[in-house]
């Protein structure tokens, strides 16, 4: 093999390797992003269900059930934050946790005094959906 042909072969192989690395990393990133989005959707569903369960006008406040659900939520958010592969997404998850904390505190305050209204529940869910949509870049 002449030296030029050998050089071309090396350059071509190096290019193919670089392309393969780029394509593979893009595929992994897309796959991880999909997983990260699914995690955020799961947190959204949990929070909406939490509001549905406790923001019910006229329902007697069950502090033990509320605390159990709140602890489940806290654990779910902490797990999501520590499992997040995209470091840039972690602050977003921390913000979502902040929203969950604020929702839980307001809900406890209102539900324990029997001051939940249908409008409060629907507006809370509206805010949750909005903040999660923004977190997902929608």
Partner 1 sequence: MPSAGKTKRKKSSRKRSELDSALDQVTDESVAASMKEFQDLLAQAKGDTSELIRQNAQELEERLVLLKQKKIDKEDFNFFVENQKRDLRVFVDSQPAQSQERAEKLTLHILEIAATKIVPVLIMMI
**Interface ranges with partner 1 (CB under 8 A):** 95, 98-99, 102, 106, 109-110, 115, 117-120, 123, 126-127, 130-131, 134
The DSSP 8-state label assigned to residue 37 in this structure reads H
H-helix segments, 3-54 = 3-54
Q: Which one, 89 or 110, has the nearer CB to partner 1?
A: 110
Query: Distance (Å, rounded) from C-alpha 18 to C-alpha 117?
Result: 59
As measured in angstroms, the least distance from the Cβ of 127 to partner 1 is: 5
Query: Distance (Å, rounded) from C-alpha 45 to C-alpha 95?
Result: 16
Query: Distance (Å, rounded) from C-alpha 117 to C-alpha 122?
Result: 9
Torsion of CA 51, 44, 104, 52, to 10 degrees: 10
Q: Which one, 27 or 118, has the nearer CB to partner 1?
A: 118
As measured in angstroms, the least distance from the Cβ of 105 to partner 1 is: 9
Q: Which one, 24 or 122, has the nearer CB to partner 1?
A: 122
As measured in angstroms, the least distance from the Cβ of 43 to partner 1 is: 16
Looking up tokens 């929070």 gives: 47
Query: Distance (Å, rounded) from C-alpha 91 to C-alpha 134?
Result: 13
Q: Which one, 80 or 107, has the nearer CB to partner 1?
A: 107
Q: Which one, 24 or 117, has the nearer CB to partner 1?
A: 117
As measured in angstroms, the least distance from the Cβ of 109 to partner 1 is: 7
As measured in angstroms, the least distance from the Cβ of 57 to partner 1 is: 11
């Amino acid at each position: 093999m002449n030296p030029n042909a050998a050089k071309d072969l090396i350059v071509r192989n190096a290019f193919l390797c670089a392309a393969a690395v780029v394509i593979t990393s893009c595929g992994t990133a897309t796959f991880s992003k999909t997983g990260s989005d699914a995690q955020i959707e799961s947190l959204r569903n949990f929070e909406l269900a939490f509001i549905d369960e406790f923001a019910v006008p006229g329902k007697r406040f069950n502090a033990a059930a509320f605390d159990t659900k709140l602890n489940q939520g806290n654990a779910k958010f902490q797990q999501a934050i520590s499992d997040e592969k995209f470091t840039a997404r972690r602050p977003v998850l921390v913000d979502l946790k902040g929203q969950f904390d604020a929702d839980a505190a307001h809900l406890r305050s209102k539900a324990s005094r029997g001051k939940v209204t249908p409008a409060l529940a629907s507006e809370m869910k509206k805010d949750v959906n909005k903040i999660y949509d923004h977190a997902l870049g929608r």
